[in-house]
Amino acid sequence: MSPVAPTERSTLRRRPDRGRYDDDTIAAILDEALICHLGLVDPEGRPFVVPTIHARVGNHLYLHGSPASRALRTAARDVEVCVTVTLVDGLVLARSAFHHSMNYRSVVVYGSATRVEDPAEKVAALAAVVEHVLAGRSDGCRPPSETEVKGTLVLRVPLDEASAKVRTGGPVDDDDDMDVPVWAGHVPLRLVAGEPVADPGITAQWPAYELTRP
Amino acid sequence: MSPVAPTERSTLRRRPDRGRYDDDTIAAILDEALICHLGLVDPEGRPFVVPTIHARVGNHLYLHGSPASRALRTAARDVEVCVTVTLVDGLVLARSAFHHSMNYRSVVVYGSATRVEDPAEKVAALAAVVEHVLAGRSDGCRPPSETEVKGTLVLRVPLDEASAKVRTGGPVDDDDDMDVPVWAGHVPLRLVAGEPVADPGITAQWPAYELTRP
């Protein structure tokens, strides 16, 4: 990824100590997050936010979906979007109610979404989305047909204006509260995969995919 | 919760079979999700989406934060917001790349955010936020001081215009793909708590909180 310079909009003002603008941090969070939240402004000027799957390829984020999707149709008009991904890493339990918090890693991407028309770029983006969900999954499953590629809306958002925000560790309590007789600390959280559930009728074995992200 | 009637905006058109409008489904998803994504329109008419902690109390959603937060200051002007929560329940691995999907439960709430001024309602909302993060946690930790309550921005969004979307189960493949020799099925995912990490200096024991949500 090329360097991302913080802009007026992407500069964190609230808790700037938690801001990160380096490419590697931003890329790692985008790659680990299974889904993103796509924010748009509807024709009446009202916000709407939908969850969707994304994939990062270099310095671009790709989104895809049905041309019937209101969200993606709106975004395909070269309008401004905001794409936010959040990884919840833990509960932060402080001595005071006030200082309770969460540990998390989030990225906010601002930009203009462009509809991808080139079939080769669309095919590559769709493969990246499948690989984003599960590395190695593109091998073996049927690739998209020409009709499927044509029938899928693919959007590209540059990662030129993005910021990450990261909180880690335990609570930060007020000095006066250090003797409050309550348990304080943090509880790590992570997304864990259960046993794969095979579809009826398959004969292929589970290919031992790595389910731990990224 | 009182019944929520689907409006033009909250009615799902894409995959209406996945739409749910009953109060219990909507409430359960909001209660299980640790965070939400708050969507707003900035003064220049551009969308922005920030992750934040919420709590549901009856037929209202409460959000809170610092008065210094740009997102919450914007939302406090009685502007339209969109609050989306998403629980990722699993990967759906189809025989074709095209039919790959995710299992999830999501809720989209549209509404106007109102700044809560009444101190008693603010205190109740802040306690609900702590209880939302971890049930039982309000007992024992120091309650908010008058200064802390005054210094916290609390927003109320009615749950009058909301919809849920739910996908469960395995892949839905095309008939022609049923013999593709690849593993197909789904992989359940869930957010799991690790070992609590105690803050230095505490003397209280871990109160055996129930960490499995909801």
What is residue A1's predicted lDDT score, i.e. its pLDDT?
40
CA–CA gap between residue A114 and residue A156 (Å, rounded) = 5
A39–B39 CB contact, under 8 Å: yes
Whether the ω angle into residue B214 lies within 30 degrees of 0, i.e. cis, is: yes
Omega before residue A214 within 30° of 0, cis: yes
Map tokens 């109102």 to a residue: B114
User: Do β-strands A114-115 and A47-52 pair in parallel, antiparallel, or remain unpaired?
Assistant: unpaired
CB contact under 8 A, A39 and B49: yes
Tell me: the pLDDT tens digits for A106-133? 999 999 999 999 999 999 999 999 999 9
For chain B, list the domains and their CATH numbers.
Answer: 16-169 (2.30.110.10)
For A21-43, the pLDDT digits (tens) are: 788 999 999 999 999 999 999 88
Give the E-state strand segments of A66-134 in sequence order: 80-93, 101-112, 114-115
Half-sphere exposure of A139 (CA within 13 A, CB side): 7
Q: Is A135 on the interface with B (CB under 8 A)?
A: no
The whole-angstrom distance between B128's CA and the closest CA on chain A is: 11
Contact assessment for residue B24 and residue B95, using Cβ atoms and an 8 Å cutoff? no
**pLDDT value at B192 more than 80:** yes
Flag the least confident range among A139-143, B81-85, B103-107.
A139-143
Kindly state the helix (H) or strand (E) to which residue B29 belongs, with its residue range: helix B23-32
- In 3D, which of A9, A21, A197 has the Cα closest to residue B169? A197
| Minimal-distance CA residue of chain B relative to A138 | B97
Whose CA is closest to B132, among A104, A191, A97, A52? A97
Main-chain phi, psi angles of B36, to 5 degrees: -125, 170
The answer for A 149-208 residues in CB contact with B (under 8 A) is 152, 170-171, 173, 177-178, 180-199, 201-207
pLDDT at A171 over 90: yes
Residue A112 near residue A159 (C-beta atoms within 8 A): no
Do B49 and A84 lie within an 8 Å CB cutoff?
yes
What's the pLDDT band for B2 if we cut at 50, 70, 90?
very low
Residue of A nearest to B188 (CA): A194
Of the candidates B82, B141, B180, the beta carbon closest to that of A141 is on B180
Q: What is the mean pLDDT of residues A52-66?
A: 94
pLDDT at B151 over 70: yes
Note whether A145 contacts B184, CB cutoff 8 Å: no
Concatenated DSSP letters of A107-119 = EEEEEE-EE---H
pTM of the model: 0.93
Closest CA to A54 of A24, A84, A77: A84
Using DSSP's 3-state secondary structure scheme, residue B213 falls into coil
Share of chain A above pLDDT 70, in %: 96
Three-state secondary structure call for residue A202 = coil
Any B CB within 8 A of A109 CB: no
Q: Considering chain B, what is the average pLDDT of its residues?
A: 91
Measure the CA–CA gap between B11 and B21, rounded to whole angstroms: 9
- Please tell me the distance from the alpha carbon of residue A126 to that of residue A144, in angstroms, as a whole number: 8
* pLDDT, greater one: B174 or A208: B174
Q: Give the per-residue pLDDT at B71.
A: 75
Distance CA A96, CA A105 (A): 23
pLDDT class of B46 with cuts at 50, 70, 90: very high
Residues on chain A touching B196 (C-beta within 8 angstroms): 183, 185-187
Between strands B101-112 and B80-93, the pairing is antiparallel
